[in-house]
Structure 1
């Protein structure tokens, strides 16, 4: 089954890459990935920790967001904002919207019997919202800061691709397994299994990276000012490591910074920290972030790369720097006196 997105010249001109992740769409991708085996090492540890941390009340969300099935839009809509803001907006969903979204999902598959009362029973709906909050805290919250920072790097890389090869090239390479560009139509295999046509009619398309959708894309057609399409992120950062590994415990970075400087030297520690906070930065960007000259930043980055703490990837004439899993662990590890 294929979903066809029809472009005009105006649509191509207005299509862009969003430098942030969208909380509900990313949560929907994570719920589907949790239920879908076969992603190998990348999600093995994450799935184990997630299943151990989910309470029984998460079942309400898991029953409504299924792999290769249409989910009610109010649970997966493409809304910008912090996760806390977006989750609070879900609680204010009008009853008519709940009914309409449930009816659309029910046309794709039978829904649980308890959903028949969802629009009119506000206590039941608040239970579903509590389930959604809990699912977010277990599946996404520990990784959200890194996901959002890596989305910025992803957008920078994709923008460079579009500038170098044109937007049609970007549409070709963004998700080659499930997206095929045949001008002026983009054929997409969606996570929901939806089949049909979307005519952009001059609005363009907003492309949003997703880290918990290793293969499938998702679409939100009702978004304003333009529809949204997610695609599997392929950031130069070490995305697999922060998804696969449980997050380190919180600690006092102030004390850790002085310890890191004692270990690496102040300048090299500043370079490593800058790369950690701005994954995918170029050498010139790294120099500005760390307060050094470009040759100095390049030299220290090379030393850190030789130590296995930093990875560099070349895109055209630009070198992009990101942490390895070892570098991220060193930067995040608590360091006491």
Structure 2
């Protein structure tokens, strides 16, 4: 069988990850540490954490349906020159949770630029088929039932904020029964300008809280609400809110952040973080071609 080729530049990815890990380890070593016990030995794997992170991220850009096929059919037989200290598939799965904290920190360095325009949305992350929810044990007491436009889902909910270039600005994982508006205040710390969302984010209290911090929440109006004067550009951007839905689609269908084969809570988080990082390395992200700077402002419109 032919190897599965990753869409990422493996060398560039490893350099970024390894440079980050070296900086992180240096900073960690210079922090106050608990005293070691006499004779204590710290075991080390022959495969470095930066190599584990690189392989996990590369999987999410490979198009392979399962990590086991990717590792056994591509990594082990064809990547030994790049990773001479490869371990077995079983051992590699045991090492994956150890890189979770580094993946989270590395993802923070891959966030996009604050441009003054942001879009917010949420998408369900199913952990099993709804018919098997009653017998699900891996994420017991950590997930919930949530209803989306496509029906009831059992699992988590991923909340995302992106800019008009499709770059990730903030994210948060909650049970599926969490209100979309609940994590917005925390997620928007440090974000300014305008935030566009659907009708599920309508809240006077949330609007006032964000407005005091310099962030204006703009949503579509319900039928029973009065019309409001908004600029034509804001009206156009509301119609372009589907950009974030394209990002959610790519995260699920290209980066594969959702599947029902998880047997460990920690590896589920590793899978999610690596998928988000792989998305940031895509050569072309979904984006909007907005009005060039320097043109006169558009007149207000009734909406």
TM over 0.5: no
What TM-score does the superposition give when structure 1 sets the normalisation length?
0.27
- Could you say which structure has the higher helix fraction? 1
What TM-score does the superposition give when structure 2 sets the normalisation length?
0.29
- Could you say which structure has the higher strand fraction? 2
